[in-house]
Amino acid sequence: MFLAELYASGFRCFSEQAPLSLSLRKGLNILVGPNDAGKTGVIDAIRFALWTRGDDFQRLEASDFHVKADGTREGSLLIRCLFDGLTPGEQSRFMEWCTNEAGTLRLYVCLRGTLRQQAGGGFTVLTQYRACKDADGMPVEGDLREYLRSTYLRPLRDAERELRSGRRSRLSKILGALPTMASQSTPAAGGAPATLVDTMSEADRAVEANPGVQAVQTDVNAKFLGDLSFADDPLQATLSLGAKGSFDQLLERLELHLNPPPGQVTRLNRGLGYNNLLFMAAELLLLQSHPDQSPLLLIEEPEAHLHPQHQTLFMQVLEERAAAPQANEQRQQVQAILSTHSPTLAASVNLDAMIMMIGHRTFPLAQGSTLLQPDDYDFLRRFLDATKANLFFARGLVIVEGDAENILLPAIARKIGRSFSKFGVSIVKVGHRGLFRYSRIFQRANAVVMPVKVALLPDRDIPPDAAKALVGDRLTESEWAADAKTAHLGSLSKHQGGAVTAFPSEQWTLEFDLARCPELANVVHKAIRLAQAAAGKTKEQIAADADTELNAWKAVPNQSADDIATKIFEPLHKKSVSKAEVAEQLAQLIDKLPDDAVAFRPKLPAYLVNAIDYATGG
């Protein structure tokens, strides 16, 4: 069986009026989104309801009850986990806790908490764990409680400590639960290979017979314990490996560590990242091989201590383990629910597995939940890399086609007082073909508007008549048929809707539109000439020459803004200079302008200002 639905009301950020209601997949589920979106609340809701393995113990506190707008706390909360896909064995084993829904047995596990104020002003929390949808069924305890415990890997975990030997070590618990260790807990039958108990007992006897050990043991007994003993209660000590205790105590003597790198024989302390991988491997081994527990894995920020390449490798392995086993594989399918802030991890998994959390609301990205088409998922799996995956964590988003917009827009936004970094806005460059494929991630099939503003900036891509000599056979503004132009302009905005709004360029391209603005023409022209970097001239000389050249163009009678902009834009159109280099120079020049935000704003094309204001919530 697997956790199919999670409901939480009155718990932390999830109020009674806006509860959490989340459907989960049988395999991999990835929670992404900005800070304070509710990702940890989802993980903790499962931990509180189902409990976890290991030594960490969690119980509800007054601070876990939702705080209402008036500052008071909810008096009750409900967390409900629905398990579906029960096997025949699970159905018969947990029949008394199950609910029959239209002939299908499902298992509801509910945690109901009540907040009581004490006479002294403090609070006490009462909890009930019961089955059935309304939390009115059998108490959840005993065999079911142990079966449902999840495996939880906390963020910034101390993996080295978890794998170290010692009393109640996590490693000993993992080993003791593995079916392959069952035959190692008793001495071998005659002629059979030695078991772990046999090996440890033999080693224990060898240690006890060691002269040095015997000398220490004799000194302790003769020189100290004898004098500290009562006549009728002599104290004697034995120095050994402790193999005469229980099998659990024997397992507590073991530790799991990484071998030294190739070419070295001395054991070294390995890095935090490698130790985390080793610990996660041990937990996955337990989940996949133990038939007597639910294979539910909760991980917060698995990217902790891992460099980007290992994050990608880890996600590939986890996806494989969370996939349904093949016919010849003897393992359980792990259900993994993890939260991450890593664009590298987000770019490494199938979009179907992702759940965006924004403002304490969940937005699954599985097929059927968004306006993404089936081939969009294939496209995004190929092209959604770490440079673009920051879109999953943004408070606002600007999606652009090329390098110029990607470099220039942050500078322009800063200059008009709407800094992208200050407003949590990401800018994503996707090229000319994928603009709407990315934006459809933020459009819901149920028409719900996601609380993140997405601005698209497609180029209008119709040259002005003044550029006819420059573009040759390409149709210019007046040569377009009216219906064709209407259809083209409509195509630039046809996929907007919901949180997504398109802001097409007003004329041709971003650079042309900026060059067409009277008070920005000289800045754009200087940037192009600086990018061309005339040999033997300083930046100041190049800038002065650009001003002289531009003034000469303007002095020609009957020159329109389009005529001047075409002359400025010509090197970019002919690709005699890099657009990216021009954008870098232009961004620097804009930063150095003396204008404040109020003065600079009206100098810009209106669509740019509108797009920036929209994405930043202005």
At residue 72, what is the residue type? T
- Per-residue pLDDT, averaged over 506-529, amounts to 95
Name the least confident of 31-35, 204-208, 336-340, 448-452.
204-208
Give, in order, the Cα–Cα distances in Å from 397 to each of 355, 390, 425, 601, 617: 17, 9, 5, 20, 10
Looking at the DSSP bridge assignments, the partners of residue 425 are 396
- Per-residue pLDDT, averaged over 174-203, amounts to 86
Cα–Cα distance measured from residue 107 to residue 110, given in angstroms and rounded to the nearest whole number: 10
Looking at the DSSP bridge assignments, the partners of residue 338 are 30, 299
CB neighbourhood size of 223 (10 A):
9
Q: Kindly state the tokens that stand for 574.
A: 């002919």
* CATH number of the structural domain 2-160+276-358: 3.40.50.300
pLDDT recorded at residue 78: 98
Helix (H) or strand (E) holding 457: strand 453-457
Helix (H) or strand (E) holding 199: helix 196-209
Query: Per residue in 298-313, pLDDT tens?
Result: 999 988 778 888 888 8
Burial track 522-559 (b if 16+ CB lie within 10 A, e otherwise): bbbbbbbbbbbeeeeeeeeebbeebeebbeeeeeeeee
pLDDT band at 55 (very low <50, low <70, confident <90, very high): low
Name the least confident of 142-156, 212-226, 259-273, 488-502.
259-273
For the chain, the straight-line distance linking the first and the last C-alpha, in angstroms and rounded, comes to 47
Per the CB < 8 A criterion, the answer to whether 511 and 572 are in contact is yes
pLDDT band at 56 (very low <50, low <70, confident <90, very high): low
CB neighbourhood size of 70 (10 A):
5
Q: For residue 66, how many C-alpha atoms fall within 13 Å in the half-sphere facing its CB?
A: 23
Query: 520 pLDDT exceeds 80?
Result: yes
pLDDT recorded at residue 177: 75
pLDDT recorded at residue 158: 62
Query: 162 pLDDT exceeds 70?
Result: no
DSSP string, 293-358: S--EEEEE-TTTT--HHHHHHHHHHHHHHHSPPPTT---PPPEEEEE---HHHHTTS-GGGEEEEE
- Per-residue pLDDT, averaged over 208-213, amounts to 92
Helix (H) or strand (E) holding 567: helix 561-573
pTM of the model: 0.84
Query: Per residue in 379-390, pLDDT tens?
Result: 999 899 988 999
- Per-residue pLDDT, averaged over 462-475, amounts to 94
Query: 488 pLDDT exceeds 70?
Result: yes
Q: With helix as H, strand as E and coil as C, how does 357-426 read?
A: EECCEEEECCCCCECCCHHHHHHHHHHCCCCCHHHHHCCEEEEECCHHHHHHHHHHHHHCCCCCCCCCEE
Query: 434 pLDDT exceeds 80?
Result: no
Helix (H) or strand (E) holding 30: strand 28-32
Per the CB < 8 A criterion, the answer to whether 21 and 355 are in contact is no
pLDDT recorded at residue 372: 94
- Per-residue pLDDT, averaged over 375-382, amounts to 92
Domain ranges of the chain: 2-160+276-358, 173-187+194-255, 394-615
pLDDT recorded at residue 159: 61
pLDDT recorded at residue 255: 82
Beta-strand pair 296-300/151-153: parallel
pLDDT recorded at residue 542: 93
Top-confidence residue, 288 or 150: 150
pLDDT band at 418 (very low <50, low <70, confident <90, very high): very high
3-state secondary structure (DSSP) of residue 549: helix
pLDDT band at 258 (very low <50, low <70, confident <90, very high): confident
Cα–Cα distance measured from residue 347 to residue 497, given in angstroms and rounded to the nearest whole number: 25
Note the Cα 224 to chain centre separation in Å: 59
Name the least confident of 169-178, 190-199, 318-327, 484-493.
169-178
Query: 291 pLDDT exceeds 90?
Result: no
- Per-residue pLDDT, averaged over 107-112, amounts to 98
Percent of the chain with pLDDT over 90: 65
pLDDT recorded at residue 432: 67
- Per-residue pLDDT, averaged over 94-100, amounts to 95
- Per-residue pLDDT, averaged over 214-218, amounts to 91
Query: 137 pLDDT exceeds 70?
Result: yes
Query: 522 pLDDT exceeds 70?
Result: yes
Give, in order, the Cα–Cα distances in Å from 394 to each of 5, 168, 397, 423, 427: 26, 42, 6, 9, 9
Query: 545 pLDDT exceeds 90?
Result: yes
Per the CB < 8 A criterion, the answer to whether 410 and 427 are in contact is yes
